[in-house]
Amino acid sequence: MSSENQKKVNDLKSEGNKALETSDFEEAIKKYTEAIALDPENHVLYSNRSAALTKAARYLEALGDADKTIEIKPDWAKGFSRKGTALCYLNRYEEAASVFMEGLKIDPENAQLKNGLEDAQSKLSGPSGSQPLGNPFAAPDIMQRLEANPKTREYLKQPDYRMMIQLLQQNPNSLQSFQDPRIIQTLGVLLGFDLEQKQADASEDKDSEAMPEQTSMPSQRSNSNSQNHSNSVPENQPNSQAQEEKLKGNEAYKKKDFETAIVHYDKAIELDPTDITFRNNKAAVYFEMKEYDKCIETSEEAINIGRENRADYKLIAKALARAGKAFMKKEDNDSALRYLNKSLSEHRNPEIQKIVQVLDKKIKEDERLKYIDPEKSLEAKTLGNDYFKKGDYPNAKKHYDEAIKRNPDDAKLYSNRAACYTKLLEFNLALKDADKCIELDPKFIKGYLRKGSIFYAMKEPSKAAQSYLKALDLDPNCEVNIISYSTSGGHNCKMSDRKLLSDSWGKYRKNLH
């Protein structure tokens, strides 16, 4: 980014901060949005806009910006604080508590995260500390959720239905007086289970994909119901036909007739291009066919369609996770981790969390192994030795660090760095390196001598004597080296300390005869 644009971003950010401080939330949102247009990868801007959107009671948008913050900067605790706060305002306290706990793993002493977690957990008054039922019709995002569901989206076009929703928002106790099937269906959607569109997502196996989402077709209503609710969606409309095609695709999938399944899912997409489920199912088929590029492409389409039509965040999370798993099959672990983390930002699925943890460790280990190069390690060691001889111990340590990364199994490198730490008076770190040196090569005498010299410098002659005696066990002729190591550190020890060392050597010699 040019310095001119950077200045514009900083100015817009400052203006947004001022507007936020004076409670001019819409102005703040405007300024942050303009700044983001210039610097779309700036996590602080999304975090600030999330705060402004929260203040403006635009909680779903605030949640989206918090997710973007975490996506760009997953090791920044404030992103989790923003997301947890937005979820609390949406009355999604169980998810909020989980997000706050994730943030505390990054910054265990963060007061905002601690307070947020305490607040979220205090609201979990349901059975066994679960999410309380509350009034599902009072949720701030009720209309977005109803728009996201294909069935209730059609209901919203009906004035009498909207009126009933408004009445239930004001007085949830009046629910018992409503016997309308549309309201029963709506209640199921708001509580997370669709009474007529029961999802049959099996848990995903290690190497095979989940069964495509299944939707049972609505049962035929009686003639009296049809007459009383003439405004309901007719069974022969495109949405209903699309569901029929999806069911046929699911049946073909069960029989592993994947080509036929794709044909039916494509027909369902043609009939209702706004339903994310059809593309999710199609992607699952491609995964089973091991056509991972097509699986990823179809999952991307599903994600875009889902966001455009405000689909259930769990369905978007599923599409992201499936793309991530496809990348894993392609051995593109970096892309896989990116997509799986995006999936977790939509929905904290415990299974995906475990996969992310394992994958993250694998990536780090692969990077570590890829970095190993004994020749470059030797170059770094030589530079470290040169700086050590000049008395420039910080630079010497820097090069020994690099040498160890390049060849972590070379005991001599840890011995050299231990000497460096001793000169820098970092005795605990020096001991740690001496122990590592001995662990890698138990017969490396210099490791014991180095450890003894560290204890000697720490004014602990008895421990120094023990280390030196271990060196003598390996080589009875290394007494001269012991004297050299115990005096080379430039530390003045009491005469009694030296006498203790001398007595230890005397006892050792006596045991030899």
pLDDT the model gives residue 197: 42
Fold category of 272-370 in CATH: 1.25.40
pLDDT the model gives residue 179: 65
| pTM of this prediction exceeds 0.75 | no
Is the Cβ–Cβ distance between 59 and 141 less than 8 Å? yes
pLDDT the model gives residue 478: 63
Q: Do domains 272-370 and 409-510 have the same CATH topology?
A: yes
| pLDDT classification of 474: cutoffs 50, 70, 90 | confident
Q: Any idea which of 47-61, 402-416, 480-494 has the lowest mean pLDDT?
A: 480-494
In the DSSP assignment, the letter for residue 176 is G
| Type of residue numbered 324 | G
CA pair distance 379, 436, nearest whole angstrom: 21
Is the Cβ–Cβ distance between 447 and 415 less than 8 Å? yes
CA pair distance 288, 322, nearest whole angstrom: 11
pLDDT the model gives residue 167: 76
Rounded mean pLDDT, 461-490: 69
Token look-up 């699925």 returns 349
Burial class (CB in 10 A: 0-12, 13-18, 19+), 83: buried
pLDDT the model gives residue 201: 40
| pLDDT classification of 85: cutoffs 50, 70, 90 | very high
| pLDDT classification of 437: cutoffs 50, 70, 90 | very high
Residues 6+ apart with CB under 8 A from 479: 472, 505
pLDDT the model gives residue 250: 93
Is 221 a residue whose pLDDT tops 50? no
CA pair distance 448, 47, nearest whole angstrom: 52
pLDDT the model gives residue 418: 93
Is the Cβ–Cβ distance between 15 and 24 less than 8 Å? no
Burial class (CB in 10 A: 0-12, 13-18, 19+), 5: exposed
Q: 409-510 has which CATH code?
A: 1.25.40.10
CA 407 to mean position of chain CA atoms = 30
Q: Any idea which of 261-275, 306-320, 475-489 has the lowest mean pLDDT?
A: 475-489
CA pair distance 440, 411, nearest whole angstrom: 6
Domain spans of the chain, in order of start: 3-124, 141-191, 272-370, 409-510
pLDDT, the chain, mean: 80
Token duo for residue 287? 């995964």
Is the Cβ–Cβ distance between 191 and 146 less than 8 Å? no
Token duo for residue 84? 């947890």
For residues 10 and 145, which has the higher predicted lDDT (pLDDT)? 10
CA pair distance 506, 99, nearest whole angstrom: 64
Is the Cβ–Cβ distance between 481 and 505 less than 8 Å? no
Q: 3-124 has which CATH code?
A: 1.25.40.10
First-residue to last-residue Cα distance in the chain: 77
pLDDT the model gives residue 476: 72
Is 185 a residue whose pLDDT tops 90? no
The length of the chain, given as a count of residues: 513
Q: Which of 128, 56, 46 is nearest to 81 (CA)?
A: 46
